[in-house]
């Protein structure tokens, strides 16, 4: 499944990174500790995190996750959005919490 298809299925909002919407999704990863994510998230993962500052873009870039989902409608810094657009990293926003998102992901991928 592509990030674009996931957006539709989750009824999520695209905040940034339109360029990366055709990326293929492979499983998911949930964590807010960036060192932990750096060493455990895998290429193609959907990364769910409540962190919304700009450094998440570098982590996403280095781990090659397919996209970032910010749960619970948490507001995302404009700097993060600008940077994610530059790098083509999709950032999605959802009203669901991380648990609810994980349950949906399980059904979908």
Partner 1 sequence: MAEEKNIISLQYKVNGEDFSLAGEASSNVKKILKQLGVNPEAIRRVAIAMYEGEINMVIHAKGGIAEVNITPEQIKVLLQDEGPGIADIELAMQEGYSTAPDNIRELGFGAGMGLPNMKRYSDEMKINSVVGKGTRVELIFNI
- Which residues of this protein are in contact with partner 1, per CB under 8 A? 32-39, 49, 51, 53-55, 57-59, 61-62, 79, 83
Residue pointed to by tokens 């750096």:
38
Q: Which is nearer to partner 1, 11 or 32 (CB)?
A: 32
Q: How do 13-16 and 46-48 pair as beta strands?
A: unpaired
Q: Which is nearer to partner 1, 54 or 109 (CB)?
A: 54
User: Distance between CA 84 and CA 91 in Å, rounded?
Assistant: 7
Q: Is residue 2 within a helix (H) or strand (E), and if so which, with residue range?
A: none
Taking the complex as a whole, the smallest distance from the CB of residue 26 to partner 1 amounts, in Å, to 14
Taking the complex as a whole, the smallest distance from the CB of residue 91 to partner 1 amounts, in Å, to 15
Q: Which is nearer to partner 1, 14 or 61 (CB)?
A: 61
Q: 34: buried, middle or exposed (CB in 10 Å: 19+, 13-18, 0-12)?
A: middle
Taking the complex as a whole, the smallest distance from the CB of residue 93 to partner 1 amounts, in Å, to 18
């Amino acid at each position: 499944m592509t990030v674009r298809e996931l957006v539709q299925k989750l009824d999520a909002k695209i905040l940034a990174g339109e360029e990366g919407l055709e990326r293929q999704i492979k499983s998911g990863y949930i964590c807010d500790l960036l060192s932990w994510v750096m060493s455990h998230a895998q290429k193609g993962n959907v990364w769910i995190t409540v962190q919304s500052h700009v450094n998440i873009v570098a982590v996403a870039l280095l781990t090659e996750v397919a996209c970032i989902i910010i749960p619970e409608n948490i507001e995302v810094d404009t700097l993060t959005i600008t940077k994610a657009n530059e790098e083509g990293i999709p950032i999605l926003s959802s009203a669901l919490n991380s648990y609810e998102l994980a349950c949906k992901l399980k059904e979908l991928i």
